[in-house]
Structure 1
């Protein structure tokens, strides 16, 4: 632009100078200093401005428009950048899976379908409830139930005992279920009690820290003691402070459960296995149907974070009681009572117990809604068991509902798990669904699979319970 202005000024100055000088020379005019300024300076500049003013105005207007357009574009870029930042902030971040792993020393279950693995076989056969002639509905007609017939004889024998006779039939049957599970775990519990004794001697016994002087240093004539009479140093073992029993019961027993009598029976059972009173804890958890699953997972997670305690988690319920059924059948005519119990003895993955090895491992993957991400982290995306028809996924939800079926399809959509891999547990305990979630978690320990088994509750889709025979090796995913 400057070049154009200078060129225009130069041309005008040359033309004006030429015309004025030739004119003055032709007319023999003697210009004054004022004439030189007026004709040779002011006049060329004025003509140049007159000629350049339209172009300068146009250029100024274009520059103004360009500046406004640049400002508008800058504002749009800022708005677009803010929108992109907001969209990126709104996008769900990749969840970081939280892992807890437990050693499972023993696991047992008992219901009308059988014991332990026979229950899983019965689930595959879709075994139904049986007609119970000892229970009736409001019309005095026999009803269907999931009764454990082998429990009738010990409960009947207890009714002649004064300390049990005044208890409700329901509590008597539940206590009998608990006692049966303790007997199933007796070998493992006895081994744990032995380890606790060794741990107490090594970490807390005075003999492990007390300095003992040889008698000859005090009296040279003292006779040397036999080696058999010398106190042996305690054997170095992993620290184990005790056993923690968590008993999960339905919430409708919270006001009627006789804790004193129940605790007395449990304390007697543990003492017979070699536990001292200060070496075991007992906690009752009365939960409803909405809390059963989450409470069980919570107790397992706490057990994984307790490196010096073994946890015995036990879930039991029985509705085989005519007095209790009379309260239920008027609300629901097609009521099918059941009774069941399941338990597991677990500990943190770092704990080592003498002469006791884990039979399997239980891992909890939480805060991760994507099951495929969990399988990728465990390197279980491609397993031979996916090609077989053997079921290994225990579903705790009611698959008779269309909505639940769609949720299950969405849950497994990106995984190699198919419908033939499902095990349906919901109907196996009839209408006694208060502890269904807790019972299902522990029942999953009975599922036999080559590499891993899975317990799924679609209401808690961000928490996955995996059961595997070998220790877990996690892989990092991008």
Structure 2
């Protein structure tokens, strides 16, 4: 957008300036400073604004509409009264319980558990020879090198030209997360089909007609006309796909195109479109963490549904970096993606056991009470040396460190139990805390992992192995 404004202004400046200078030369006019300012700056600026006004009005209208839609979704999540047994209040504390069935994280430090190990060793950003600053010199970045290889393979396989730069990388990261979730999505497709056969005749007919479930011939070469075997399963009505993106993509992201790709992927696994709901969320750095907690609260209330959450961002793009370096010469770009399959506490999925249970405590005034309640053998956690608490805030802010220490002091959890996620995202921070939260699934399984951010100082999250689950919490 900045390039468009500058390009339009420069073009009109050259045209108006040339005409005015030639005219002044013909009439031998000696312009004053005011004349130069008026004719060479003010008039081209006014003409540029007039010429671009339809475009600017259109962009403003679209931004306003999307902002209203996002605000309406947030208000619905905040104010809706959902009848659920997954949100339990005890001593003023509200508990959310969710089952996590799969989790994948991917960034410049590696994948899943390897990211945790790299965070412990603090891996620094690397010199990026494809990105340069205003002086043409390479800059540091957290680029995913493996993603470049994926994009090269995609370009070799595709004849048509795809979008380049940031959008291309984000789409590739979304596709990567879908591929990582393929196995569990196939199991979900099987469960949705069996649920439809048992509970919904209309949807059962749609599944019988779906190409993925039609076996055209049997072993004798004759047409298959046997009835489908129906098994009683726990009811499952819908797969929800939530795509979390940075709010600075709101004007350039093509939702309909991405919806089509997600729908085609899900249908290729055998899920009919009637049981797929896709929603995009454009989150900001200021309110993104609260919106994330609202989304978890919403999922915890959805009975007979399962959700796939995909969190993706990339700022590895020269054009985007050029805009950012106007404000900061040392802008550090990064890219990452993460995904979860999760449900409300009581929802079961055939042939799949939940990896961990997520417990989120809201409105906590005394952390020690929650900690002792969720972690019965808390003394063992405190005595061991490896970190089990992910802190999502900036560790260079002294005030943040002091406040965090005050919060955890009653539990006897110390600094060496903390692991800070913020440094590995550079300045790409809109969705960084959500990625850090999802990364908590890959902390050591023998420990109850914790997540904390001062953005929501009274909220604490706990990841527990299923065998440790304490119903009284």
Q: TM-score, normalised by structure 2?
A: 0.73
2: CA distance between counterparts of 1:300 and 1:425?
A: 20
Q: 1:320 aligns with which of 316, 319, 323?
A: 316
How far 1:153 moved relative to its partner?
2.5
Aligned pair in 2 of structure 1 residues 157, 238: CA closer, same or farther (>3 Å)? Answer: same
* 2:279 counterpart residue number: 283
Distance change (3 Å), C-alpha of 1:168 and 1:158: same
**Alpha-carbon distance in 1 for matches of 2:275, 2:334:** 34
Q: Which moved more, 1:248-257 or 1:286-295?
A: 286-295
SS, match of residue 312 in structure 1? strand
Q: Is the 8 A contact 2:307 2:341 kept in 1?
A: yes
Structure 1 CA distance, aligned partners of 2:400 and 2:202?
Answer: 60
Taking a change above 3 Å as real, the CA distance of residues 198 and 463 of structure 1, as seen in their structure-2 partners, is: same
1:123 matched to 2:99? The reply is no
Are positions 1:422 and 2:418 aligned together?
Answer: yes
Deviations 1:40-71 (A, max 9, x none): xxxxxxxxxxxxxxxxxxxxxxxxxxxxxxxx
Per the alignment, residue 356 of structure 2 pairs with 360
1:179-234 Cα offsets, whole Å, 9 max, x none, are 111111111110000000000000012799xxxxxxxxxxxxxxxxxxx9874662
Structure 2 counterpart SS, 1:300: helix
Choose which of 451, 467, 475 in structure 1 pairs with 2:447: 451
After TM superposition, give the deviation of residue 155 of structure 1 in Å: 2.2
Answer yes or no: is the 8 Å Cα contact 1:375–1:381 preserved in 2: no
Map of 2:218 onto structure 1: none
SS in 2 for 1:338: strand
State yes or no: 1:181 paired with 2:177: yes
Asked if structure 2 preserves the Cα contact closer than 8 Å seen for 1:392 and 1:449, the reply is no
The alignment status of 1:269 with 2:265, answered yes or no, reads: yes
Compute the displacement of 1:416 (Å). Answer: 2.3
Unaligned segments of structure 1, at least 5 residues:
1-93, 209-227
Task: State how far apart, in whole Å, the 2-side matches of 1:459 and 1:453 are.
Answer: 19
1:302 equivalent in alignment to 2:312: no
Q: CA deviation at 1:376?
A: 2.7
Partner of 1:55: none
Within-5 A mapping of 1:178-257: 178-205=174-201, 231=227, 234-257=230-253
Q: How does 1:363-442 map to 2 (within 5 A)?
A: 363-380=359-376, 382-442=378-438
Residues of 1 paired with 2:444 and 2:270: CA distance?
Answer: 32
CA contact (8 A) 1:195 1:354 kept: yes
SS for the counterpart of 1:247 is strand
- 1:170 and 2:166 equivalent? yes
SS of aligned partner of 2:259: helix
In the TM superposition, structure 1's runs of 4+ consecutive aligned residues that sit over 4 Å from their partners are 157-164, 228-233
Provide the rounded CA distance (Å) in 1 between the counterparts of 2:338 and 2:226: 46
Gaps of 5+ in 2: 1-89, 205-223
Distance 1:201 1:399 in 2: 53
Instruction: Call closer, same or farther: CA 1:164–1:158 in 2, change over 3 Å.
Output: farther
Query: What is the Cα deviation at residue 107 of structure 1?
Result: 0.2
The equivalent residue for 1:472 is: 469
Indicate conservation of the 8 Å contact 2:375/2:448, yes or no.
no
What's 2:337 paired with?
Answer: 341
- In structure 1, what is the Cα distance between the partners aligned to 2:182 and 2:202? 30
Give the superposition deviation at 1:413. 1.2
Provide the C-alpha distance between the structure 2 equivalents of 1:279 and 1:269, rounded to a whole number of angstroms: 13
Deviation at residue 383 of structure 1 after TM alignment? 3.5
Bigger radius of gyration among the two: 1
Q: Distance in 2 between matches of 1:129 and 1:291?
A: 27
**1:378 deviation in Å?**
2.0
Against the structure 1 CA distance between its residues 293 and 380, is the aligned structure 2 distance closer, same or farther, given a 3 Å change threshold? farther
Report if aligned partners of 1:247, 1:315 keep a CA contact under 8 Å in 2: yes
Question: Quick check: 2:338–2:435 contact (8 Å CA) kept in 1?
Answer: yes
Q: Within 5 Å, give how 1:19-30 maps onto structure 2.
A: none
Matches within 5 A, 1:85-164: 95-158=91-154, 161=158, 164=161
Tell me how far apart the structure 1 counterparts of residues 350 and 160 of structure 2 sit (CA, whole Å): 38
SS of residue in 2 equivalent to 1:330:
coil
For the residues of structure 2 that align with 1:140 and 1:429, how far apart are their CA atoms? 23
Output aligned runs, 1:57-72, within 5 Å: none
Instruction: Please give the per-residue CA displacement for 1:424-446, whole angstroms capped at 9, x wherever unaligned.
Output: 10111111011112111111111
TM-score (norm 1): 0.73
Larger CA deviation: 270-279 vs 337-346: 270-279
Distance 1:394 1:362 in 2: 14
Tell me how far 1:248 sits from its aligned partner: 0.6
* 1:51 aligned residue: none
Would the alpha carbon gap of residues 230 and 132 (structure 1) be closer, same or farther in structure 2, given more than 3 Å must change? Answer: closer
Contact 2:388/2:447, CA 8 A, preserved across alignment = no
Q: Give the SS at the match of 2:424.
A: helix
